[in-house]
Structure 1
Amino acid sequence: MTAVDDLAPDSGTGLWPPSGVQPSDDGSLYDRLAERGFDYGPIFQGVTAMWNRGEQTFAEVSLDESVSDSASAFGIHPALLDACLHPALDELILDSKLVPESPGQDRATARVPLPFSFTGVRLRRPGAAAVRARMIRDENGQARIDAVDDAGEVVVSIDAVGARLVDADVLAAASTARRTVPLHLQWIESALPAAPSLPSGWVPATLGSVRIPGIDRHYTDVTELVAADDIPDVVVWWIADTPAVVENGPVSGRAAAIRQSVHTAWDVLRSWLSVERLSETRLVVATHRAAGLPNESVELTGAAVIGLVRSAQLEHPGRFVLLDHDGGPGLQASSGEALRADVLWSVLESGQAEVAVRDSRMFVPRLTAAGVSEADTPRAAFGDGTVLITGGTSGLGAVMAKHLVVAHGVEHLLLGSRRGPAGDGVAELVAELASLGAEARVVACDVADRAELAAVLDSIGTEHPLTAVIHSAGVLDDATIESLTAQQIDRVLAPKVDGALHLNELTRVHDLSAFVVFSSLAAVLGSAGQGNYAAANSVLDGLARARRAEQLPALSVAWGPWNQDTGMTGHLGRAAVARLERMGTKVLGNDEGTALLDAALAADEAMVVCVEFDKPTLAAQARAGMLPDVLSGLAPARAQRASSVVAGRRLAARLAAVPEEEREALMLGFVRDNAAAVLGYPSGAAIDPETPFSAMGFDSLGGVELRNRLAEAAEVKLPSTLVFDYPTVDAVAKFLRSRLDANSATSPTDDHIASLRALLAMMSSGGERERFIERIRATLAETVKESESDTRSDRAAIAAASNPEELLAFLDQQTAE
């Protein structure tokens, strides 16, 4: 066959790809390339489908929609030409003759090929935006490339592409040469989907004290909602029953209001999740000016709720939406705040997990690189007096104490902790700080106790007055939303929230040059099993913004995970650390962390995120459609296109493609692989299908992650109690297969509709299609006329169907009813 014959639609069937090929890519092409240092951005991720046939590889390649309009300006667009080489590059990487070069060589340190020489390049048709490409490898490791357009006309051909080997670590170093900088949480305006009128089939309701004009259904609580005859599609709940924080009121009242808001929201979420009948209904949690948009004050009770719900969203994907609004005209709540019903519908149609609405404009949170000065952070950032560090005798606080002395010239430290001088390693820390040239005084103090903290501050002499504060105190007490307790909420909120509020109040009489609170990435992204911790840190982020609005110094640093000896990852096991790495967050070392702090101080922001992400991991999540929206600016994914390979990746399709006797083994292997990934094992071979999950080391978070992974891949809803109801891999595999079998079952009517679609697709003549549609229309009209359930709207829909697609859509609707 010629290249054109191979790449044109099959002359007999009109189908593409050609006969005899096998799908060769499960969507992981760019993941494999990224692992070896070829981390392509979305514009260059042009391969959308791949197949193999012997030494030949076939691919569908197209430009990203963002640049496709510019294709006509080139003979061949650089991104399109580059993408045509990716299948060849992939094959060269996997070719054992090239990498690794010697037996037993670690692939991570092997040499990798870069396209280097091109022979016999011929451009035939300029301006293409999409091609079908064929790559043929030869025994020398070179590849011939032919690419054609949809009509089979040659666009470009290359007789031979040769590669040059380079060290993989050199390539990796080039990709990480730019220093890590803090990230900034920005609110980016995003267009709302148009909603000229609310859809007739939309059934919303409100819960609690919120009222929305145009939405008649309302329930006072979850119990009343569950007792209703039918469940609405979406329910809006606004936490308006707890007292708002009075910014200048007593700390005790402000802390109590925040704590009450978290308890109330947790109770609603827990009640919601306990009812299976609500599993298909989305709960919109509405807050008022709590998101922290620029130039706005932050309502701290709402900020705490946002942190809690972000974690609930990770534990139960797709079930909760966060909506922060500004009280614009339209939707009246009991206290007068407002939001329009059509805007609510548009927000839901946007598919965003979290939005802020201001004057009927939608904004979405995105992490971006913060502006950082190239100059060193001034040594005077912490003043020349005493620096107070809460939680300063161990972990992150102790690391920062030493860093302030070495890098910032701080000579007087006041280190507070619950145990004070009696804490482990405190004497050694004080001695080390003294050897570095600093005087460190250690005091026992519970920062949640205002009187104790006030006494500590009063003990600072006038010779070296207080000039800076670092609030690093905090505790963890992890649990999922369903298993969390009120005591765990209070225990985590006390040192973080109460302590920060007390510091904010008591230090106002001091001339501070820095007021730094240590928050967490959990508050920004949410963290499964850490809803209480996310809520507490979200308050700190809001407090820093509030202080900045008052022209007071403030910086909230939302830290990612630190190493096992520092910060709050010391209690984590292998599975938990592996979970963080799968999310794309790297564990910071002390040098990286302190460098990030210095950069954060130079960023001149109220709140920054100090975390190092693994870009290839984020890119892989983006390509799989699993990257959290807030991270999409760090690893944007190209627009998804429908293809046979995309469909083939679905678990149901994989099951259908193998004989019945092999399906049980396939499903078991699938669940074993996912269980192994959750536990941090290299493959499913390490998982015994009959061993209970509890005996394998699964905790509640591991169970949540396994449920979410399986539900995502299988495209089915699974109970949150999956690993408890089905306590082994074998039991889960059987249950999951039963769900897939039930979902894939089709009725005779479904089969007939599919046959009609296939018949229409085979008709090449427009007249033939018109005659066919007229006969169906006449038959339907006669059938509807004879039916007792005849309605004028049915007859109108049949008459209005102007093409086969509209008529088949009507048939689908009738089938569903």
Structure 2
Amino acid sequence: PTTPLTLPTYAFQHQRYWLERKISGKAPGGGNQFGHPLLDSKVELAGGEGVLFSGRVSAQAHPWLEAYAVLDAPVLPAAALVDLVVRAGDELGANALTAFTVHAPLVLARTVSTEIQLVFAGAGEPGTHAFTLYARPAEADAPWTTYAEGVLATDTAPHAAPADSDGGGGSEVELANELLPEAVRYGLHPALLEAALRAVELAGAVAPAGAGTFAVPAAWQDVRLHASGATSVRVGWQPLGERAVAVRLTDAVGAPVLTIGRVAFDDVPAERFAAGGAAALPLYREEWGAADLSPAEEPLRWADLGTGEATGTGYAVLAEAAEAIAAGAPVDALRVWVRAGADADVLDALHTRTGEVLALVQEYLADERLAAVPLAVVTHGTEAAGPAGSGAVGAAVRGLLRSAQAEAPGRIFLFDVLDGERGTGGERDPGRLDALFSAVIAAGEPQAAVHGGGIRLPRLRRETSGAAGSAGAGTGWDASGTVLITGGTGALGSLVARHLVAEHGVRQLLLLSRRGPAAPGAGDLVAELAQAGATATVVAADAGDRAALAAALESVPAGHPLTAVVHAAGVLDNALIADLTPRSLAEVLASKADAAWHLHELTKDLPLSAFVLFSSTAGVIGGPGQANHATADAFVDALAELRGAHGLPATAIGWGLWDADDIGGGVNAGLADASRKRYLKEGFRFLAARDGLALLDAALAGGRPRLVAVPLDVAAMRAGGQVPELFRDLVRVPGRPGAANVAEAGAAGGAQTLGTRLAALSGEEREQLVLDLVREEIAAVLGHAGAHEVGAERAFQDLGFDSLTAVDLRNRLMARTGLRLPSTLVFDHPSPKELGLHLLGRMDLGDGPGNASALDALERLEATLLGSGDRRDEEARSAVASRLQALLARLTEEEPGDDGAADIADAIGSASADDLFAFIDNQLGRSAN
């Protein structure tokens, strides 16, 4: 289905709607574009070092590739590679593909496109061109992988094609009707060449593939294209051993279309396709690295809340601090110290501490007296203390606060301090600690750790210890036992269950869900798994209830003991910080965090081969409206590190958003269209089922306890200019803002630019400028093509705003105006026009354009009058003089007490046109002077 288009509001409003370009990418800088569907550009490398061809390909852009899917993975077939190499040969004047070897199947990702580079080396033997073909996921800045190599040559000698009489032939293949228009864009459409090769296989000309493998035409020799654009061919062949043939394709009158001197087939194991190849998206890990930040020379003036850790001014409660600050207390920033405490029960501590911090943050954000006072929250050894990650409760607090940061940018900062070093002189020095914290806030870093007397910052980095293509490595699944999956009948749980049965040979499954066998689709899932040879038992149990979980574990048959756990259960209950209730927080924690802890305690003495915890990127990145989920996910991630530090199996994966259509539902099934567009625009992509499962296997193969699995669109994230700090080692941005983003380089800079523009305008012009700004930001939030699609008086509710998009708009407008704005902004001012008037009223611009702006305008008028030909036109001179006299009269009416102005007015009022122009020359002065 196509995206609905918004109709113009009146007949003469124009917007271009271009047809979607089917070729898959853009030419790089300096590239010459040409019309092959798989190669977009050609670049001649400097110094005669060679030629580079590049392009992008995806199953979405080329739907015919779905016909060549292997194990549900779309593959760019060897025939397509041959055609693009031959097309490149045309550019180089080489007509013969003398040798071509495919090293690995080029499997395409469903989530992102695949980038291809065909690189020809510099000068070699006369008339020959050696090349290498590389590919990688296009939007992930992944390393390049070599997929094929070969040699093109220029050969004018006649080609001795294989004769049909020496082998077989007679088969005719033709292109599908829907592909006929594409034929002229290829030398020989890959679908037609693939069909011809399949005809050769079906005729028995080559030995069939072995068990568990697929036959791939891997080694090609002496390939020549004689005619292009064919839509049907007759296939002839000559066997050259058990696994090789010579092939001749001819048209309807017997003229040669393509000849292959020899093509040999290799057996490729099935796992080479399932592994992902170029489709293998990367996993990421969070690392804390030393920052180039020195203690602030003039630290902020700090006030601590509570009494346990105060290093200077202190207040018992937030309200007391707010009252003092409002009364003029010298406080620049507030700080609160959070300890997990010595509670014997980890879950009691989890619920208590997170509840306390939620209440504190809600109070802080609601108090307008603190709008300009940042809040620093300090935990102890929770995030960066090393691999143990023992501060799971503190990690949960930080997860909650990361979501609060997303809703209120620039107001909340997170710090972590190592307990073990507090007595060594670094962090213990209150003055130095104040200066370090101040430096982090000045740098705009939302979170940092102060360890060893220095600052460390978190960044995501590509994980290299296990790749999604590492099939055959230890996967952590023991097929002889039972695998427990919480949320086992949900979209993710059932997806994992099918994967374990189909790909890892698991035969015993215990699927937990709150509704048990009564859950929608449970019966069909059990039947499907049974048909695949597995026994699945569905049990009604809430994993957050320790007793119920223990009872479910006791039902595991002794003959198939528990060997692995997958915790995929969770409850969806999004809410902004201001609206989040203790009950909602507790329910989400129970389903995710409590359940994970119960699973840990009940199985820690069992010889498990895998303990997999599904969390989300909310626990690492945060996100507006996701505070409860971020809290639970951060706890789960820290639990995995705790298990890993004690030698227990553990793999926590922070998933990005899954493609609900591809996995058959899930928590994203009801995601609003505006939210989807915003997610994509921010540089993230949705996870397809196949890609996610490959990442699951890779995560277990790598062995790290905590990883992040989110497909990135680096180009989109970079284009947005506002790259989250956590991604800045992955997404490099220019040191200068793009032209379109200059006004948004920062809140202060944006506000100054806007203020300067507004100061020079009249009242009506100011209203229009602010309204245009509001409509531009609304269009960006909702994913519209432009501000013209946003009605000025249309209600925000009718435009599709919800609490999350309202916060997004509020944050954008704060960046543009420099104003402190409440999260209820769009609900308090229910249309773009009303909101624009409110923003304009909040700005201190005076009653009209300032004196400097008025003088600038007068100077422009002076230059116009003195440089105009009308000065020599008596009638025009008189008209101008009359206007000037009237204008001066209006100005002097506003200053009745100014005798000097009145005298000038009298003089001008009785002046002739010549006198007026002489006055301009002599009294005001020319612009040039």
Match of 1:701 among 787, 798, 804: 804
Q: How does 1:53-452 map to 2 (within 5 A)?
A: 176=137, 178=278, 179-195=280-296, 198-199=298-299, 202-213=300-311, 215=312, 217-228=313-324, 229-230=327-328, 232-240=331-339, 243-244=341-342, 246=344, 253-327=345-419, 328-329=421-422, 340-371=433-464, 372-373=466-467, 374-378=469-473, 381-383=476-478, 384-452=480-548
Counterpart check, 1:493 vs 2:592: no
- Bigger shift: residues 658-667 or 374-383: 658-667
Kindly provide the CA deviation profile for residues 612-654 of structure 1, in whole angstroms up to 9, marking residues without a partner as x: 0111111113xx2x21100111112232389999369847646
Q: What residue is the counterpart of 1:670 in the other structure?
A: 773
Deviation, 1:550, is 0.6
Gaps spanning 5+ residues in structure 1: where?
A: 1-34, 41-81, 93-97, 102-107, 120-163, 247-252, 753-817
The answer to whether 1:526 aligns with 2:625 is no
Question: Which residue of the other structure, out of 633, 649, 653, is the alignment partner of 1:553?
Answer: 649
Structure 1 residue 210: Cα displacement: 4.2
Q: Which has the larger radius of gyration?
A: 2
Which shifted more, 289-298 or 581-590? 289-298
| Closer/same/farther in 2, CA of residues 337 and 703 from structure 1, 3 Å limit | same
Deviations 1:242-278 (A, max 9, x none): 63454xxxxxx21121011111010010000111111
The question of whether the paired residues in 2 share the 8 Å contact of 1:689 and 1:728 is answered with yes
Please give the alpha-carbon distance, in whole angstroms, between the structure 2 residues aligned to 1:552 and 1:289: 21
Distance (Å, rounded) in 1 between the aligned partners of 2:827 and 2:642: 44
> Amino acid of the residue matched to residue 681 of structure 2?
R
Distance in 1, Cα, partners of 2:563 & 2:610: 7
CA RMSD of aligned residues (A): 3.7
State whether residues 384 and 449 of structure 2, in contact with CA within 8 Å, keep that contact through their aligned partners in structure 1.
Answer: no
The alpha-carbon distance between structure 1 residues 225 and 749, as it changes in their structure 2 partners (threshold 3 A), is farther
Per the alignment, do residues 110 and 668 of structure 1 end up closer, same or farther by CA in structure 2, a change over 3 Å counting?
farther
Q: Give 1:294 deviation, angstroms.
A: 2.8
Residue identity in the other structure for 2:460:
L
Mapped to 1, the partners of 2:832 and 2:646 lie a distance apart of: 56
Cα shift at 1:359: 1.6
Q: Deviations over 1:318-375 (max 9, x none)?
A: 0000001113337999x99998333333333333110011121211111111122453
Which SS does the other structure have where 1:340 is aligned?
helix
Q: Does 1:619 align with 2:718?
A: yes
Other-structure match for 2:559: 463
Task: Write the distance in 2 (CA, Å) between the matches of 1:452 and 1:648.
Answer: 53
Q: Is the 8 A contact 2:309 2:337 kept in 1?
A: no
Pairing 1:42-53 to 2, within 5 Å after superposition = none
CA offset digits 1:178-235 (Å, max 9, x no partner): 431111111111133244x545xx321111234343x2x2111111111112252111
CA distance in 1, matches of 2:783, 2:739: 32
Between 1 and 2, higher relative CO (CA 8 Å, sep ≥ 6) is seen in 1
Within 2, Cα distance between the matches of 1:299 and 1:221? Answer: 25
Displacement after TM superposition at 1:36 (Å): 8.7
Cα contact 1:561–1:567 (8 A) shared by 2: no
Do structure 1's residue 599 and structure 2's residue 695 form an aligned pair?
no
**Residue 742 to residue 604, structure 1, CA distance change in 2 (3 Å):** farther
The match for 1:732 among 835, 838, 849 is: 835
| 1:575 alignment counterpart | 674
Could you tell me how far apart the structure 1 residues matched to 2:640 and 2:514 are?
A: 24
Q: Quickly say closer, same or farther: Cα 1:734–1:464, change in 2 above 3 A.
A: same
1:680 alignment partner in structure 2:
783
Q: CA 1:648–1:419 in 2, change beyond 3 Å: closer, same or farther?
A: closer
Give the superposition deviation at 1:386.
Answer: 0.3
1:735-774 superposed matches below 5 A: 735-740=838-843, 742=845
Matching residue of 2:269: none
Q: Which amino acid aligns with 1:690?
A: E
Map of 2:868 onto structure 1: none
**Paired residues, number:** 596
Q: What's the counterpart of residue 6 of structure 1?
A: none
Q: Assess if the C-alpha contact under 8 Å between 2:588 and 2:628 holds in 1.
A: yes
One-letter identity of the residue aligned with 1:573: A
State the 1:674 CA deviation: 1.9
Distance 2:840 2:607 in 1: 65
Change (3 A) 1:684 1:111: farther
Letter in 2 for 1:220: A
* Contact 2:543–2:549 (CA under 8 A) maintained in structure 1: yes
In 2, the alpha carbon distance for the partners of 1:481 and 1:637 equals: 31
Distance 1:326 1:401, change over 3 A: same
Report deviation, 1:301. Answer: 1.6
What SS does the corresponding residue of 1:382 show, helix, strand or coil?
Answer: coil
The CA distance in 2 between the partners of 1:400 and 1:575, in whole Å, is: 29
Deviation of residue 563 (structure 1)?
A: 1.3
What's 1:795 paired with?
none
> Structure 1 residue 747: deviation in Å?
8.7
Question: Matches of 2:523 and 2:791 in 1, distance apart?
Answer: 48
The CA deviation string for residues 127-159 of structure 1, in whole angstroms up to 9 with x for no partner, is: xxxxxxxxxxxxxxxxxxxxxxxxxxxxxxxxx
Deviation sequence 1:740-766 (CA, Å, 0-9, x none) = 5539999989999xxxxxxxxxxxxxx
Query: Which deviates more from structure 2 when the two are superposed, residues 301-310 or residues 229-238?
Result: 229-238
State the alpha-carbon separation in 2 of the partners of residues 393 and 332 from structure 1: 54
Deviation at residue 236 of structure 1 after TM alignment: 0.7
Q: Deviation per CA, 1:273-316, whole angstroms, max 9, x where unpaired? A: 11111111100011111114433332122111100000000000
599, 605, 608: which one pairs with 2:707? 608
Contact 2:487 2:511 in 1 (8 A): yes
Please identify, of 563-572 and 302-311, the stretch whose mean Cα deviation from structure 2 is larger: 563-572
Percent identical among aligned pairs is: 36
Give me the whole-angstrom Cα distance separating, in 1, the residues matched to 2:430 and 2:751: 46
SS at 1:571's partner residue?
Answer: coil
Aligned residues of 2:487 and 2:568 also touching (Cα < 8 A): yes
Check 1:457–1:744 CA distance in 2 against 1; reply closer, same or farther (3 A cut). Answer: farther
Q: Partners of 2:854 and 2:328 in 1: how far apart?
A: 30
| Counterpart-to-counterpart distance in 2, 1:225 and 1:203 | 13
More moved, 304-313 vs 293-302:
293-302
3-state SS of the aligned residue for 2:579?
coil
**What secondary structure, in the 3-state scheme, does the structure 2 residue paired with 1:517 have?**
strand
**Aligned match of 2:273:** none
Partner of 1:122: none
Distance 1:495 1:367, change over 3 A: same
The normalised TM-score by structure 2 is 0.59
Distance (whole Å) between structure 2 residues aligned to residue 262 and residue 744 of structure 1: 48
1:338 and 1:741 mapped to 2: Cα distance? 38
Which letter maps to 1:237?
A: V
Equivalent-residue separation in structure 2 for 1:733 and 1:423 (angstroms): 49
3-state SS of 2:556 partner: coil
Alpha carbons of 1:278 and 1:747: their partners in 2 closer, same or farther (altered >3 Å)?
farther
What CA distance in whole angstroms lies between the structure 2 residues aligned with 1:736 and 1:329? 47
CA distance in 2 between counterparts of 1:461 and 1:644 reads: 64
Distance in structure 1 (CA, Å) of the matches to 2:593 and 2:832: 41
Aligned residue for 1:586, secondary structure, equals: coil
State the shift of 1:668 in Å: 2.2
Q: Deviations over 1:559-584 (max 9, x none)?
A: 00001234421231212222221221
